[in-house]
Structure 1
Amino acid sequence: MFFPFSQSGVKSLSQKMSDWGVCLLGIYLVIAFLTPILINLGLIPDGQFGLDSPIFAPPSLEHFCGTDRLGRDVCSRTLQGTSVALQVVFLAVGLAVLIGLPIGILSGYIGGFFDKALVLIMETLYTVPVLLLSVVIAFLLGRGIPNASIALCVVYIPQYFRVVRNQTAQVKTEQYVEAAKAMGAGPLWIMKRYLFKNVITSVPVLLTLNAADAVLILGSLGFLGLGLPETIPEWGSDLNMALDAMPLGIWWTALYPGIAMFGLVLSLSLVGESLELFFNHKKTVQK
């Protein structure tokens, strides 16, 4: 998302960083799309298997990022890990939005015992550390992309609930909502016509920040052996396998997955900054 120039005609540093984040995220999306195609065409090796390659081979023309302890191409696994990370992260935060947004609106609008019960449940989940809660859920569900997505989803639902519920409770007291009630508008129509439009603006910023956090949590689950199966390339599990090789001077098995994870977290964080600038600019213009 690119912003107009400021009054001086020059973009501020924060706006430039936001644009860089959008470009960097776009590169990750292109990599995730092209990697399976390149593997099917035989242009890059499949990182799931060693294919009789030497173990711990240093970076070379044959293996640009070297190989790991099983002879698997580190470059290919790092590229494949991009697609896996994006699938799990966006599935997790997407489910969190789909669940947290409607129940937040319902809780804030209905109020009463229903609101108190949901607030109690969500506050209890919110007080549990994110990593601890995701580890417990991942342990109970087992390893796999859907299970990892659900483990992350449960962690972020309370955040969307809290934000949406608080904004709904404020908006429902506005005069135009009271006027709609006086004219005979039903609760569903009011929530769809007035409440949803006012609370949705805060969701994109929170979504991108949660996505950045989810990349780190997914990597932590993989590092602990609770994320995805070993046959699926994933940055956290690759970093775990690289620990034993680091004392031997084999740096490439940890460097490239670590850089890839850092870059994705950075891009999502900058996109969140971009969205926040956009909505703040929009509010300023409306005023």
Structure 2
Amino acid sequence: MSRWGIVILSIYLIAAIGTPIMSHLGLLPDPNYGLANPIYSPPSLNHWCGTDRLGRDVCVRTLAGSGVALQVVFFAVILAVLFGVPLGMLSGYLGGAADRVLVLIMDTLYAVPVLLLSVVMAFLLGRGIPNAAAALCVVYVPQYFRVVRNQTVQVKSELFVEAARAIGANPLWILRKYLLRNVIASVPVLLTLNAADAVLVLGGLGFLGLGLPESVPEWGGDLNLALSALPTGIWWTALYPGIAMFVLVLGLSFLGDGLESWISDTSKKAQ
């Protein structure tokens, strides 16, 4: 499974890096500018996936959407890790009133459906790649917080942690030396699964018109524009962005399953 995930993700990375370079060199059409004619052209040798309502090449725009999706999802998930993991460790280790307040806040955010919370954050922050990444970041911070905090609470009761606290070791040193490496194992799996989910959430925001500007090649926004053309038999403007989104989610899910199996096998061998 993980091999398929790596292969799929590699293909998307190549598309994300290569498409803007080839467009800049004139080897591919610009994904943001259409042709005067033909508009809504079906797939052909000149335009493998057809053209949209502005005459833009659907194939090139779908390939360029890989870079936008990976960029937003990468920053969103990494920011969520950078905020959620330290907060979870500190909350679980320190306990007390601060822990109760943080747990209350994170549980409240976690209780809100992912898409609804992302819609609210996108509405508050506005459109654009940084704002979309920030909106998705807020959605996933509670997940890392909950997982890391629960594991920290378990690990801090171990004898080696109690011994370090008894000799007066610095709490930050204990967190870094003993707790971090014990609670971090589950983060890579959660990261890949959240990345897969984030692709769908970003697509949902774009489909609702709350994602990125129309000039940015983004799959959800393109699906939104394609919706009005479907009843007239223009299927290609919706098919290819939908397939691209589905395959990327599938690849990230494969990668997450592979990482989970590898971590589980490594833990069993260590025992």
Give TM-score, length-normalised by structure 1.
0.93
Structure 2 residue aligned with 1:136: 120
Aligned counterpart in structure 1 of residue 129 of structure 2, from 145, 153, 158: 145
Distance, in Å, in 2 between the alignment partners of 1:182 and 1:142 is 50
Distance, in Å, in 2 between the alignment partners of 1:24 and 1:129 is 29
Aligned residues: percent identity? 70
Q: Confirm or deny: 8 A CA contact 1:66 1:73 kept in the other structure.
A: yes
Aligned counterpart in structure 2 of residue 35 of structure 1, from 13, 19, 34: 19
Deviation at 1:285, TM superposition (A): 0.8
Structure 2 residue 144 is matched with structure 1 residue 160: yes
Distance, in Å, in 1 between the alignment partners of 2:145 and 2:249 is 23
Aligned counterpart in structure 2 of residue 91 of structure 1, from 34, 52, 75: 75
Distance, in Å, in 2 between the alignment partners of 1:94 and 1:207 is 8
CA RMSD of superposed structures (Å): 0.8
Runs (4+) off by over 4 Å:
none
Aligned counterpart in structure 2 of residue 73 of structure 1, from 17, 39, 57: 57
Aligned counterpart in structure 2 of residue 184 of structure 1, from 156, 168, 174: 168
Structure 2 residue 206 is matched with structure 1 residue 222: yes
Distance, in Å, in 2 between the alignment partners of 1:139 and 1:53 is 36
Aligned-partner SS, 2:46: coil
Deviation at 1:245, TM superposition (A): 1.2
- Structure 2 counterpart of 1:193, which letter? K
Q: Confirm or deny: 8 A CA contact 1:168 1:199 kept in the other structure.
A: yes
Distance, in Å, in 2 between the alignment partners of 1:122 and 1:75 is 41
Structure 2 residue 34 is matched with structure 1 residue 50: yes
Deviation at 1:53, TM superposition (A): 3.2
Structure 2: unaligned runs, 5 residues or longer = none
Aligned counterpart in structure 2 of residue 282 of structure 1, from 249, 266, 269: 266
Distance, in Å, in 2 between the alignment partners of 1:183 and 1:215 is 47
Deviation at 1:184, TM superposition (A): 2.3
Structure 2 residue 106 is matched with structure 1 residue 122: yes
Deviation at 1:250, TM superposition (A): 1.0
Deviation at 1:18, TM superposition (A): 2.3
Deviation at 1:243, TM superposition (A): 1.0
Deviation at 1:277, TM superposition (A): 0.7
Distance, in Å, in 1 between the alignment partners of 2:168 and 2:123 is 50
Aligned counterpart in structure 1 of residue 66 of structure 2, from 82, 86, 107: 82
Distance, in Å, in 2 between the alignment partners of 1:50 and 1:238 is 14
Q: Confirm or deny: 8 A CA contact 1:53 1:72 kept in the other structure.
A: no
- Structure 2 counterpart of 1:243, which letter? L
Structure 1 residue aligned with 2:179: 195
Q: Residue by residue, what CA displacement relative to the aligned partner does 1:23-55 show, whole Å, maximum 9, x if unpaired?
A: 111111111111111111111101101132311
Deviation at 1:96, TM superposition (A): 0.3
Q: Please identify, of 24-33 and 205-214, the stretch whose mean Cα deviation from structure 2 is larger.
A: 24-33
Q: Confirm or deny: 8 A CA contact 2:35 2:54 kept in the other structure.
A: no
Give TM-score, length-normalised by structure 2.
0.99
Deviation at 1:220, TM superposition (A): 0.4
- Structure 2 counterpart of 1:192, which letter? R
Structure 2 residue aligned with 1:13: none
Aligned-partner SS, 2:200: helix
Q: How many residues align?
A: 271
Structure 2 residue 232 is matched with structure 1 residue 248: yes
Structure 2 residue aligned with 1:109: 93
Deviation at 1:249, TM superposition (A): 1.1
Q: Residue by residue, what CA displacement relative to the aligned partner does 1:219-242 show, whole Å, maximum 9, x if unpaired?
A: 000000000011101000111111
Q: Residue by residue, what CA displacement relative to the aligned partner does 1:238-259 show, whole Å, maximum 9, x if unpaired?
A: 1111111111111110111001
Structure 1: unaligned runs, 5 residues or longer = 1-16
Aligned counterpart in structure 2 of residue 272 of structure 1, from 253, 256, 260: 256
Q: Confirm or deny: 8 A CA contact 2:5 2:251 kept in the other structure.
A: yes
